[in-house]
Amino acid sequence: MHPFDTAIALTTVDAHCSRGATTSAYANMVGPFGGTTAAVLLNAALRHAERRGEPVALTVNYASALADGAFEIDARAVRTNRSTQHWILQLRQGDDVAATATAVFATRRETWSAPEATAPADPPAPDTLARQDPTRRPPWVQRYDMRFIDGGMPTRFDGAEHPHSHSCLWVRDDPPRPIDFASLAALCDTFFPRVYLRRRKIVPIGTVSLTTYFHADTAMLAAHGAQPVLASAHGLNFRNGYCDQRGELWSARRELLASTQQVMYYRE
Amino acid sequence: MHPFDTAIALTTVDAHCSRGATTSAYANMVGPFGGTTAAVLLNAALRHAERRGEPVALTVNYASALADGAFEIDARAVRTNRSTQHWILQLRQGDDVAATATAVFATRRETWSAPEATAPADPPAPDTLARQDPTRRPPWVQRYDMRFIDGGMPTRFDGAEHPHSHSCLWVRDDPPRPIDFASLAALCDTFFPRVYLRRRKIVPIGTVSLTTYFHADTAMLAAHGAQPVLASAHGLNFRNGYCDQRGELWSARRELLASTQQVMYYRE
């Protein structure tokens, strides 16, 4: 079993409640990687008997760092329409809500379609780039093969501020795993904090809220398989403890798989 | 009383439930303008006795078109930390959930700050631009004074496709009203559908999910007052019935007030 599947595994408690547990393979500095938290929340809806359609939008709010160990997810389809379905999800540890989420699922139909944003032009092939060294980094970083084209994790944290927070990289699960909606949701949280890039200084940070729009459907994900995803991200504004980030994830064929945004807190 | 304040007015039913009603002043083609729905959901948290801090993130999921008339909002602070607070909100009409939302509030502290994105350069002053004609448009459009610098509502819907969906405009409440968090949340939904810009064709559309990050605090909003907001938006991808949009709202001083994104459905 791939460690990602272990990390998002759930067992059914009752019609609305399922149980999971954090895994050491995706541990962060405190608690688990937020990407797996997003993925397991999405998975609670994906595996639910009432689920109709495929994910279109997912918002995860991180209410506190998860404690290592078990958690329960309450998943409710609060509205099911002809082609869309709306979910409210809560992840609890004991009496505490550690994360909340909303998800929108939809049955897609073929329509007029047109991409507008374009993938980063002419990126070097992944195998021509060095993998970002994940040693001395939290375990979850080692679960992703990241090959930066631009804006890699700073090698020196000397406080010499950087003028922008753009990053572009190839990223895939390690070991390789065919992409699906859950792993795509997690990949959307693999960008390291933009504030590290700008400040070249390690300060306490944490994602507060993460929203991902899924442009891919099952067929597009199947065509992509386990190939690396071309990913780009940048911050818009850093102000009084909160900053945002926008990102795009592209398939090997340069189709937009997902657009994602998040707001993080930072200290000092 | 300003019509916007009427549109977001709530009366208390009990500790978690408040009651409001749609107003004809902000009617859309079907049901009310989604911006006022976002604003009244935010207002249910803003006016709640348990509320701590100011809004940082708001996600609103539109589960169905609201019926004209009364609605109830259930607002729960599911987690209150030292400096952040997490809300789940549901807007109901009878037994039906018409919209869901999550909101994150926070108490901000002064920290290192740095803008990264920049406002559109050298926009013409609002009073040098013509107001977009709101006649023959839904009532809510008339509640906003919009002066387009670029990418205005097409004057001809002849199906001649446009290569991009960028818009830039000055926008303010009409009549003028000092900006606050609720009106800023509504302003984030005033961009007309990007798919109209691209396709030059009117097709059925609707916002499915809207997420706004508030970069402004009360002091910044007070300094801005009732001046027009400089707003820009563009779509990233239009595919099989769903498209996304990213937008930015800037103060008269060119500070980022909010970044916003949404996913819409469209037909055909």
The pTM is what? 0.98
Chain B hits for A111, CB-CB cut-off 8 Å, are 240-241, 266-268
Chain B hits for A248, CB-CB cut-off 8 Å, are 236
Respond yes or no on whether the N-terminal peptide bond of residue B175 is cis (omega within 30° of 0): yes
pLDDT at A202: 92
Chain A hits for B45, CB-CB cut-off 8 Å, are none
Chain B hits for A199, CB-CB cut-off 8 Å, are 112
**Cβ <8 Å between A209 and B56:** yes
Alpha carbons B82 and B152: distance in angstroms, whole number: 44
pLDDT at B155: 87
Chain A hits for B95, CB-CB cut-off 8 Å, are none
pLDDT at A155: 87
Option in B64, B104, B116 nearest A236 (CB)? B116
Chain A hits for B256, CB-CB cut-off 8 Å, are 236-237, 239
- pLDDT over 90, % of chain B: 97
Work out whether the CA dihedral A196, A199, A204, A210 comes out positive or negative: negative
Question: Where does the pLDDT of residue B258 fall: very low under 50, low under 70, confident under 90, or very high at 90 and above?
Answer: very high
The predicted-structure confidence for B156-214, as pLDDT tens digits, reads as follows 899 999 999 999 999 999 999 999 999 999 999 999 999 999 999 999 999 999 999 99
pLDDT at B114: 96
3-state secondary structure of A7: helix
What are the backbone dihedrals phi and psi of residue B127, each rounded to the nearest 5 degrees, phi first?
A: -75, 0
Check: CB of residue A58 under 8 Å from CB of residue A185.
yes
Alpha carbons B135 and A86: distance in angstroms, whole number: 35
pLDDT at B35: 98
**Cβ <8 Å between A100 and B106:** no
Chain B hits for A97, CB-CB cut-off 8 Å, are 78-79, 86
Q: Residue B222 is inside which H or E element, if any?
A: helix B218-224
Alpha carbons A229 and A119: distance in angstroms, whole number: 11
What are the backbone dihedrals phi and psi of residue A141, each rounded to the nearest 5 degrees, phi first?
A: -65, -30
Amino acid at B251: S
pLDDT at B18 over 90: yes
Option in B208, B237, B246 nearest A215 (CB)? B237
Alpha carbons B262 and B236: distance in angstroms, whole number: 11
**Cβ <8 Å between B100 and A78:** yes
**Cβ <8 Å between A108 and B81:** no
**Cβ <8 Å between B110 and A240:** yes
Instruction: Spell out the residues 6+ positions from residue B170 whose beta carbon is closer than 8 angstroms to its own.
Output: B123, B126, B129, B145, B146, B147, B149, B228, B229, B230, B231
pLDDT at B241: 97
**Cβ <8 Å between B78 and A97:** yes
pLDDT at A239: 97
pLDDT at B165: 97
- pLDDT over 70, % of chain B: 100
**pLDDT per residue of chain A (268 residues) written in tens, 0 to 9:** 999 999 999 999 999 999 999 999 999 999 999 999 999 999 999 999 999 999 999 999 999 999 999 999 999 999 999 999 999 999 999 999 999 999 999 999 999 999 999 999 999 999 999 999 998 899 999 999 999 999 999 988 999 999 999 999 999 999 999 999 999 999 999 999 999 999 999 999 999 999 999 999 999 999 999 999 999 999 999 999 999 999 999 999 999 999 999 999 999 8
What ipTM does the predicted assembly reach?
Answer: 0.98
B187 to chain A, minimum CA–CA distance in Å? 19
**Cβ <8 Å between B211 and A261:** yes
Residue of B nearest to A258 (CA): B237
Q: Which of A37, A74, A81, A104 to mutate to test the interface with B (most CBs of B within 10 A)?
A: A104
3-state secondary structure of B25: helix
Distances (CA, A) of B195 to A248, B232, B234: 20, 15, 10
pLDDT at B28: 96
pLDDT at B183: 98
pLDDT at A268: 87
Residue of A nearest to B256 (CA): A237
Option in A104, A161, A208 nearest B56 (CB)? A208
Query: What average pLDDT does chain B have?
Result: 97
A80 to chain B, minimum CA–CA distance in Å? 8
**Cβ <8 Å between B237 and A88:** no
**Cβ <8 Å between A263 and B213:** yes
Chain A hits for B108, CB-CB cut-off 8 Å, are 240-242
B113 to chain A, minimum CA–CA distance in Å? 4
**Cβ <8 Å between A56 and B263:** yes
A237 to chain B, minimum CA–CA distance in Å? 4
**Cβ <8 Å between A90 and B106:** no
pLDDT at B133 over 90: yes
Check: CB of residue B82 under 8 Å from CB of residue B31.
no
Check: CB of residue B60 under 8 Å from CB of residue B41.
yes
B175 to chain A, minimum CA–CA distance in Å? 30
**Cβ <8 Å between A104 and B235:** no
Alpha carbons B158 and B165: distance in angstroms, whole number: 16
Alpha carbons A21 and B244: distance in angstroms, whole number: 33
Closest CA to A208 of A65, A69, A32: A65
A33 to chain B, minimum CA–CA distance in Å? 20
B125 to chain A, minimum CA–CA distance in Å? 24
How many interchain CB pairs under 8 A, A with B? Answer: 210
